């Protein structure tokens, strides 16, 4: 044990010595935050072949699944919102429009082999953010941000599945994909989050009713995706009528429900609003308990980070908890003073981790080590980017809405086309790569990790 610790310390020291410099971040200086965010964004886009010869707009390519690209362009939409720097706007718009798919609802045929509701939703949520922050509109003859978000919502509402479990969305859209019988929190959480935000933007109650329905389902004790202590568990299996819960907890699951709940608080009044206040506060407290562990104020991906076995997807999850915690302070301002110190210390720690590679500003996965941990990738860069730029939240306006600053044109019936994956699809065996790759990792964690997370 001692030996290993020493070896690790030595390793960190060597890595630190190797680094030319580190990312500087002074949270009291707006320009410093903007500069640090720019460096992290540049580092993320160094992985992007989308506008190189032969590159396809919107794809980062192996080992990054399609969904993470949607998340990354969402992060760049946030980047423009927070910093006003439009360097990446054109490349973002190009990618966001190139990947809309044949029915303008983020279901491109090329991706049908790994297209889950969550994968589709990460692009839809990026479009929703674009509408909320009044990101420059696409050309008039192209689908518009709000309509794209509505298209994703509409196609998912049509998939609400009562064949088992009394409701909920399945993880996968197509029955030929691994994970079709899994009902996960991120798919249902993204639907909840998107519905609440569409309700807030359009002032159309139908969306809020769907958000309510999704919350009721996820918190139904017989389903238990959200537990009594507001733990947000990964998922459950509909072959067992949703009685076999997979209890691992990820930052982004709590984050996606947190912003949805805060938005519902923002959109309700009276006793209903009181309920959403309780729920928002409880989710926030759960985030603090499970992801800022041992009294630390630095965000941690507790299910994989301490043992260094986070997969490519999971390396990006802290980006979304950061993003959604910051947005929560706008929707439900009474959360501000609890959230900001956590984003501040996490950003400072993330900046310290961004001290690797040839540039000396490559970001690592673990923010708690006081140095670069040797990891690098789109997720590491995106997480550092989001947590650092989130510290500019007090300097920007909250989301716009229709009639209140909104400039994006909607289409309430967008995306209601069928779920036909189209002629180009080739069925894949159940042993093949699964969607966002999460299930496979879960099975591995489940086997190796036993039930360690239950005792937290
Ligand atoms: C890719 O797009 C970005 C942003 O528009 C631009 O700065 C960069 O030069 C482009 N790269 C290439 C190789 O065209
Ligand atoms: C789909 O794949 C083909 C072949 O690689 C490529 O030419 C096309 O641009 C891709 N479309 C999208 C939306 O990614
Ligand atoms: C399946 O679960 C739902 C929701 O908990 C419940 O209402 C239903 O009765 C269950 N069906 C069976 C056959 O157990
Ligand atoms: C609801 O959210 C909007 C947008 O962020 C904000 O301007 C407004 O103050 C919020 N409402 C309340 C009651 O805090
Ligand atoms: C409200 O949203 C629902 C669900 O998409 C849609 O069917 C309805 O037409 C919308 N109503 C208005 C007034 O836009």
Could you give the CA distance from residue 153 to residue 157 in angstroms, rounded to a whole number? 6
Q: Is the pLDDT of residue 318 over 80?
A: yes
* 147 Cα–ligand 1 center, Å: 27
State the DSSP code for 177. Answer: S
CATH class of 24-406+432-455: mainly alpha
* 165 Cα–ligand 3 center, Å: 5
Task: Return the ligand 5 atom nearest residue 410 CA.
Answer: 14
pLDDT in tens, 147-196: 999 999 999 999 999 999 999 999 999 999 999 999 999 999 999 999 99
52 lines ligand 1 (CB under 6 A): yes
For the chain, give the longest Cα–Cα distance: 64
Please choose from 147, 149, 150, 204 the residue to mutate so as to test ligand 5's pocket, defined by most ligand atoms within 8 A of CB. 204
416 lines ligand 5 (CB under 6 A): no
Query: Token digits for 365?
Result: 């996965």
pLDDT in tens, 182-214: 999 999 999 999 999 999 999 999 999 999 999
- Give nearest CA residue, ligand 3 atom 14: 241
Query: Stretch 241-263: mean pLDDT, rounded?
Result: 98
Note whether 23 and 354 are within 8 A (CB): yes
pLDDT in tens, 274-307: 999 999 999 999 999 999 998 899 999 999 999 9
Q: Is the pLDDT of residue 423 over 90?
A: no
Query: Token digits for 245?
Result: 């819960």
- Domain assignments of the chain as residue spans, ordered by start: 24-406+432-455
Could you give the CA distance from residue 299 to residue 287 in angstroms, rounded to a whole number? 9
Give, for 190, the enclosing helix (H) or strand (E). helix 185-202
Note whether 445 and 437 are within 8 A (CB): no
* 242 Cα–ligand 3 center, Å: 8
Residue 428 or residue 402, greater confidence: 402
CA-based angle 103:108:111, to the nearest 5?
155
């Amino acid at each position: 044990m001692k030996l290993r610790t020493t070896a690790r310390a030595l390793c960190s020291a060597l890595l630190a010595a190797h680094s030319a410099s580190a990312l500087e971040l002074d949270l009291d200086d707006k320009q410093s935050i903007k500069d640090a965010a720019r460096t992290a964004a540049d580092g993320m886009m160094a992985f992007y072949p989308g506008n190189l010869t032969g590159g396809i707009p919107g794809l980062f390519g192996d080992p990054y699944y399609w969904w993470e690209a949607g998340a990354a362009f969402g992060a760049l939409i946030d980047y423009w919102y927070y910093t006003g720097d439009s360097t990446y706007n054109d490349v973002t718009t190009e990618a966001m429009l190139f990947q809309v798919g044949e029915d303008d609802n983020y279901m491109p045929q090329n991706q049908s082999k790994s297209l889950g509701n969550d994968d589709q939703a990460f692009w839809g949520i990026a479009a929703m953010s674009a509408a909320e922050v009044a990101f420059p509109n696409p050309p008039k003859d192209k689908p518009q941000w709000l309509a794209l978000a509505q298209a994703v919502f509409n196609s998912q509402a049509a998939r609400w599945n009562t064949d088992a479990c009394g409701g909920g969305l399945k993880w996968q859209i197509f029955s030929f994909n691994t994970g079709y019988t899994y009902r996960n929190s991120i798919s249902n959480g993204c639907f909840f989050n998107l519905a609440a935000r569409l309700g807030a933007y359009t002032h159309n109650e139908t969306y809020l009713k769907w958000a309510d329905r999704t919350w009721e389902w996820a918190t139904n004790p017989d389903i238990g995706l959200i537990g009594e202590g507001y733990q947000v568990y990964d998922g459950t299996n509909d072959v067992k009528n949703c009685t076999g819960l997979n209890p691992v907890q990820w930052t982004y699951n709590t984050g996606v429900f947190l912003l949805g709940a805060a938005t519902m608080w923002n959109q309700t009044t009276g006793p209903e609003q009181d309920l959403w206040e309780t729920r928002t506060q409880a989710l926030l407290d759960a985030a603090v308990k499970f992801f800022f562990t041992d009294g630390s104020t630095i965000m941690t991906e507790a299910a994989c980070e301490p043992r260094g076995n986070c997969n490519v997807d999971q390396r990006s999850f802290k980006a979304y908890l950061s993003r959604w915690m910051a947005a929560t302070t706008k929707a439900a301002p009474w959360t501000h003073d609890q959230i900001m110190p956590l984003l501040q210390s996490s950003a400072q720690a993330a900046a310290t981790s961004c001290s690797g590679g040839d540039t000396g500003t490559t970001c690592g996965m673990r923010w708690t080590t006081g140095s670069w941990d040797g990891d690098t990738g789109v997720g590491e860069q995106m997480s550092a980017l989001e947590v650092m730029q989130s510290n500019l939240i007090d300097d920007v306006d909250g989301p716009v809405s229709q009639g209140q600053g909104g400039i994006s044109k909607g289409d309430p019936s967008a995306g209601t086309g069928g779920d036909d994956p189209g002629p180009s699809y080739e069925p894949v065996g159940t042993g093949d790569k699964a969607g966002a790759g999460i299930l496979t990792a879960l099975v591995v964690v489940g086997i190796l990790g036993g039930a360690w997370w239950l005792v937290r």
